[in-house]
Amino acid sequence: MSSPSYYALYLVPLLALLGMYSRKRRLGEVAASAKLSEAIEGGMTEPPTLHPIFDLKKCFGSGACIKACPETAIGIINGKGTLINPAHCIGHGACEVACPVQAIRLVFGTEKRGVEIPKVNPSFETNVPGLFIAGELGGMGLIRNAVAQGVRAIENIAKRPKGGDLDVVIVGAGPAGIAASLAAKKLGLKYVTVEQEDSMGGTTYHYPRNKIVMTAPMDLPIIGKVKVREISKESLMELWQNVIAKGEIGIRYNERMEDIKNEGNAYIVKTSKSSYMAGSVLLTIGRRGTPRKLGSPGEDQPKVVYRLIEADQYRSKHVIVVGGGDSALEAALDVAAEPGTTVTLSYRGAAFNRVKIKNRNRLDEAVAEKRLKVELETQIANIAADKITLRKGKDEYEIPNDAVIVCAGGELPTPFLKKIGVDVQAHYGS
- pLDDT class of 200 with cuts at 50, 70, 90: low
* C-alpha span between 238 and 232 (Å, rounded): 10
- The fraction of the chain above a pLDDT of 70, given in percent, is 90
Q: Provide the CA 142 distance to its chain's centre, in angstroms.
A: 11
275-284 pLDDT, tens digit each: 999 999 999 9
* C-alpha span between 384 and 212 (Å, rounded): 39
- pLDDT class of 392 with cuts at 50, 70, 90: very high
The mean predicted confidence, pLDDT, of the chain is 85
| DSSP string over 282-346 | EE--TTT-EEPP---TTTTSTTEESS-S-GGGGTTSEEEEE-SSHHHHHHHHHHHTSTT-EEEEE
Of 130, 50, 57, nearest to 94 by C-alpha is: 50
Task: Identify the structural domains of the chain with CATH numbers, from first to last.
Answer: 10-107 (3.30.70.20), 116-289+413-427 (3.50.50.60), 304-410 (3.50.50.60)
Alpha helices in 42-90 (DSSP H): 64-67
Of 129, 221, 212, 131, nearest to 175 by C-alpha is: 221
Q: Provide the CA 134 distance to its chain's centre, in angstroms.
A: 16
261-275 pLDDT, tens digit each: 988 889 999 999 999
pLDDT at 6 over 70: no
26-73 pLDDT, tens digit each: 888 888 888 888 888 777 787 777 789 899 999 998 889 988 887 788
- Apex CA 401: angle with CA 399 and CA 407, to 5°? 105
* C-alpha span between 68 and 230 (Å, rounded): 10
Of 25, 85, 28, nearest to 358 by C-alpha is: 85
pLDDT at 212 over 70: no
| Choice among 6-10, 300-304, 372-376, 381-385 with the minimum mean pLDDT | 6-10
**What is residue 188's predicted lDDT score, i.e. its pLDDT?**
95
- Apex CA 149: angle with CA 145 and CA 150, to 5°? 120
**What is residue 206's predicted lDDT score, i.e. its pLDDT?**
54
Q: Which residue has the higher pLDDT, 412 or 34?
A: 34
124-148 pLDDT, tens digit each: 999 999 999 998 777 665 677 888 8
User: What does the chain come to in residues?
Assistant: 430
pLDDT at 410 over 60: yes
pTM for the model:
0.70
**What is residue 288's predicted lDDT score, i.e. its pLDDT?**
64
* C-alpha span between 359 and 356 (Å, rounded): 5
Handedness of CA 409, 412, 140, 278 (dihedral sign): negative
Read off the DSSP letter of residue 213: E
Please check whether residue 206 is in contact with residue 178, taking contact to mean a CB–CB distance below 8 angstroms.
no
Most confident stretch, 90-94, 163-167, 258-262, 388-392: 388-392
Phi, psi of 114 (to 5 degrees): -85, 150
